[in-house]
A and B are shown apart, each in its own frame.
Chain A
Amino acid sequence: AQSVTQPDIHITVSEGASLELRCNYSYGATPYLFWYVQSPGQGLQLLLKYFSGDTLVQGIKGFEAEFKRSQSSFNLRKPSVHWSDAAEYFCAVVLNSGYSTLTFGKGTMLLVSP
């Protein structure tokens, strides 16, 4: 069965430092991959997605992610974190492309220190 693993439950990063959030997937075929962000008390906002083509994808708010098939990974990065980036981040993979159902990782909470 398809699965998504986010190894880090919490990460603390200093403001202005770089960020990398890890995501590994288990999937038999070429996956469709997503990163979502959730601010406290809010819904999920799409940051970026990978379907095919260039393995480095750019998203909103200065985020990018790189698909590495050999490592079954889709890590999210940002060169310089802002305090407003503090939120929970979810990686997801399309479970059934026919109906676009998603499987989510359990999330990584990002804390930003001054």
Chain B
Amino acid sequence: DAGITQSPRHKVTETGTPVTLRCHQTENHRYMYWYRQDPGHGLRLIHYSYGVKDTDKGEVSDGYSVSRSKTEDFLLTLESATSSQTSVYFCAISDIGTDTQYFGPGTRLTVL
């Protein structure tokens, strides 16, 4: 299994509070991704990173921001959480030239 951890694994928070999810990898892969998974929607890309401090938006980026200050860490921040952001969040990694993504275990976020 790829060395990917996500923290926290579960979180319950209230509407309007900031939330940061962390993805940590030990594979030294260049690319990192954040997805959300919702019933009936599959996985949808939120943001991705193609290097330290290099990020771009995905399909569903509104309400989310990301940062990557080190190769191994990719942070997803919900500046002001809303109930529509209740979801399971997955981090993935990929290396240059492979086009193959490996996924972390996921974080279940509930916004009340």
B-binding residues in A (CB < 8 A): 32, 34, 36, 42-46, 49, 51, 90, 94-95, 97, 99-107
10 tightest A-B CB contacts, nearest first = A106-B42, A44-B103, A104-B42, A43-B103, A100-B94, A104-B43, A100-B99, A43-B105, A99-B50, A107-B42
Establish whether residues A106 and B40, one from each chain, have CB atoms under 8 Å apart when the complex forms: yes
* C-alpha gap A99/B93 in the complex (Å): 11
Say if the beta carbon of B80 comes within 8 Å of chain A. Answer: no
Establish whether residues A32 and B99, one from each chain, have CB atoms under 8 Å apart when the complex forms: yes
B-chain residues with CB within 8 Å of residue A95 when the two chains form the complex: 45
Q: Which of A99, A104, A106, A107 has the most CB of B within 10 A?
A: A99
Establish whether residues A34 and B100, one from each chain, have CB atoms under 8 Å apart when the complex forms: yes
* C-alpha gap A100/B94 in the complex (Å): 7
Say if the beta carbon of B74 comes within 8 Å of chain A. Answer: no
Encode contact with A along B31-54: 1 for CB under 8 Å, 0 otherwise: 101000000111111001010000
- Please name 11 pairs of A and B residues whose Cβ atoms are closer than 8 Å in the assembled complex, sorted by A: A46-B101, A97-B99, A99-B31, A99-B48, A99-B56, A100-B94, A101-B45, A101-B48, A102-B33, A105-B42, A107-B42
Residue from the list A34, A43, A100, A106 in contact with B41, Cβ < 8 A = A106
Contacts known (A42-B105, A43-B90, A43-B106); A100 close to B42, Cβ less than 8 A: no
Say if the beta carbon of B16 comes within 8 Å of chain A. Answer: no
B-chain residues with CB within 8 Å of residue A99 when the two chains form the complex: 31, 48, 50, 56
Contacts known (A42-B105, A43-B104, A44-B103); A100 close to B45, Cβ less than 8 A: no
A-chain residues with CB within 8 Å of residue B92 when the two chains form the complex: 44
Q: Which of B31, B33, B42, B48 has the most CB of A within 10 A?
A: B42
* C-alpha gap A102/B99 in the complex (Å): 9
Establish whether residues B42 and A46, one from each chain, have CB atoms under 8 Å apart when the complex forms: no
Closest to A34 in B: B100
Encode contact with A along B84-112: 1 for CB under 8 Å, 0 otherwise: 00000010101000111111111000000
Establish whether residues A100 and B101, one from each chain, have CB atoms under 8 Å apart when the complex forms: yes
Q: Which of B47-84 contact A (CB under 8 A)?
A: 48, 50, 56, 58
* C-alpha gap A100/B58 in the complex (Å): 12
